[in-house]
Amino acid sequence: MNKTVFVTGANKGIGFGIAKHLGLSSWKVIIGARDEQRATKAVNELKAQGIDVLGWVSVELNDLDSIERAAKEISEKYPELTLLVNNAGIPGDMSVDSEHTEINVIRETLNVNFVGTFALTKALIPLIAKNNGRIANITVPSEISPYWHPLAYVASKAAQNAMMGVMAIEFQQAGTPVEIFSVHPGPTTTDLNGNMALPGFHDIETVGQKFAGLINDGQCHQGEFIELYPIVKED
């Protein structure tokens, strides 16, 4: 089976870990990124580890024209695409409670994490369906945690989870040969949370390796919300 993956936000953090460990398990990798310098650095680092990196594609999720160009480039240059990993996203303002969250922050976070992710997914569905492929969204639970609940980010990911659930049902009903599911990495030390490293947190290597194991398990995960490392409730 052909194994070609496009990972958004793959130049750093969880996206880089996912790209690395999928690559180490024989996947051909396409890097999605906004910045050429950081994308090139990531490509070079992955290639140095023997990973088959096909190239990188510029995509800005708050720019629908950029998304359209990226989808067109992927369809033309990488018609063998079999897996889309929607990883890229922004945190919003995680330092304030909902009452003090600015409307423009809500709008920007939703535009990137939900609208942009939906637009890219929508644009690539025909290609993924042609290749009987899959879509995996990196997200968080829609259920609100009492320990961590930044409104803009959680709301944007809840919308993404709803997108996944609706699409999974529709793909099944229509007989569309696409599998879509959501993956919650669990607490992970990344730039997105200011490199927070508390008890129960994992690093991107651990998360990337476990995600690759999930992708390579040979099972159907249509419509599932999968937690790699669930948040442990405090006593």
Cβ neighbour number for residue 85 with a 10 Å cutoff: 26
Residue 227 has phi, psi (to 5 degrees) of -100, 115
For residue 162, CA distances in Å to 118, 119, 231 come to 11, 14, 20
Looking at residue 233, its pLDDT comes to: 53
Higher pLDDT, 192 or 28: 28
Q: Is the dihedral of CA 144, 188, 105, 109 positive or negative?
A: negative
Looking at residue 176, its pLDDT comes to: 98
Mean pLDDT score of the chain, rounded to an integer? 91
What single string gives the DSSP state of each residue in 11-44? TSHHHHHHHHHHHHTT-EEEEEES-HHHHHHHHH
Q: What percent of the chain has pLDDT over 70?
A: 90
For 32, the token pair is 């999605």
Pick from 101, 89, 96: which is nearest to 140 by CA?
89
Q: How far is the C-alpha of 185 from the C-alpha of 226, rounded, in Å?
A: 8
Contact (CB, 8 A) for 57 and 74? yes
- Residue pLDDT, tens place only, 181-224: 999 987 655 555 555 554 455 677 889 999 999 999 999 999 99
pLDDT category, 235, cuts 50, 70, 90?
A: very low
**Averaged pLDDT for residues 50-78:** 98
**Weakest-pLDDT range from 111-120, 147-156, 200-209:** 200-209
Cβ neighbour number for residue 232 with a 10 Å cutoff: 11
Q: What is the pTM of this model?
A: 0.91
Looking at residue 40, its pLDDT comes to: 97
Q: Which residues contact 117 (CB under 8 A, 6 or more apart)?
A: 8, 61, 86, 88, 89, 137, 160, 163
